[in-house]
Amino acid sequence: MKVVLSGAAGFIGMSCGLRLLSRGDHVVGVDNLNDYYDVELKYARLSLLKSNSRFKFYKDDITERQRINDIFSVEQPDCVIHLAAQAGVRYSFDNPYAYVDANLQGFVNVLEACRHHRVKHLVYASSSSVYGGNETMPFSEHDNIDHPLSLYAATKKANELMAHTYSHIYNLPTTGLRFFTVYGPWGRPDMALFLFADAMLKNKPIDVFNDGNMVRDFTFIDDIVEGVIRVLDKPATPDGKFDALRPDPATSTAPYRVFNIGNGNPTSLMDYIGALETALGVTARKNFMPMQLGDVPATSADTSELGKWVGFQPDTPVVDGVQKFADWYLAYYQKNGQT
């Protein structure tokens, strides 16, 4: 099939694109290649996709309504994987409009293009951050998510609400995926693992927030991709058991679903750092600091609904995933003369 993939030069985007191409699909990548982080890394990811003749790329911004509609008009995709967004929690404190533009305006542009061009299924990125102040562990799609702790989280919840509206009014099948702390080769330089590796290899201290008392459901990129592709292949359908008197946030009378994609095995930040120390053969100098604004002490994913829907639950051990990241990191930056 033909799939429009927004955020194609991103970490998850490139990884999903390669998987789609490997199984014979046609992929139409869209990315504005902004400078939120190292643009050269984005171009390097993009070059892997461009090596396949079934990949076509548009350097465009999802906030450009007419351009997005034009792309859909020309390409007539069967399905859409929408990953383009303004990422990051802390960045939203100083740059709120970037989130409004990309995550709200951009998302409605994609929704409109999907409904006007009869897309069969829209799969889009949500985030574990939507759980916000909820402290019930593990996080379940059936939980209330009315207390976001950052604008980024609020826009991701808004995306789920917007998607439901289009599923209800236009019968557009939509599936939101709440990603839990994704890591691995080709990852984002603004994420902890990248920052830690860079500092450790330069013999600089690493910042360890909340004095190291953090727990995250670190999820390896290969598991994320497997979940995304399986969900893509099984469009959302109305829930015949939906009870409007006791509405379940995870389902609907419309073709709408949301799922957690997490490892289901929360790991302490100190163990995560320990795995990286082992993988790199370097002991980190740790600068213990208080909790950052907008952060939460722990995340944990209940992935039972994903398992029931597509028969898959992520399970890559952190020590294995971190080793694969470290191997890639050393090879990539040595090749580019930066280590």
d(CA 62, CA 19): 23
Judge whether 8 and 57 are in contact, CB under 8 Å: yes
Cα 180-237-27 angle, rounded to 5 deg: 60
Q: Which residues contact 225 (CB under 8 A, 6 or more apart)?
A: 12, 15, 16, 19
Which residues is 58 bridged to in the sheet?
Answer: 30
The candidate with the shortest Cα–Cα distance to 321, out of 203, 187, 138, 126, is 187
The candidate with the shortest Cα–Cα distance to 60, out of 109, 123, 116, is 109
Q: Which residues contact 289 (CB under 8 A, 6 or more apart)?
A: 207, 208, 209, 210, 211
Judge whether 244 and 162 are in contact, CB under 8 Å: no
Q: How many residues does the chain have?
A: 339
d(CA 210, CA 144): 26
Q: Which helix (H) or strand (E) segment is 219 a member of?
A: strand 219-220
Pairing label, strands 206-208, 286-288? parallel
Q: Which residues contact 122 (CB under 8 A, 6 or more apart)?
A: 79, 80, 82, 110, 111, 114, 163, 172, 173, 174, 175
d(CA 78, CA 8): 17
d(CA 149, CA 293): 9
Active site residue 152: yes
Q: Which of 131, 152, 166, 272 is catalytic?
A: 152
The candidate with the shortest Cα–Cα distance to 11, out of 26, 1, 2, 36, is 36
- Positions annotated as catalytic residues are 152
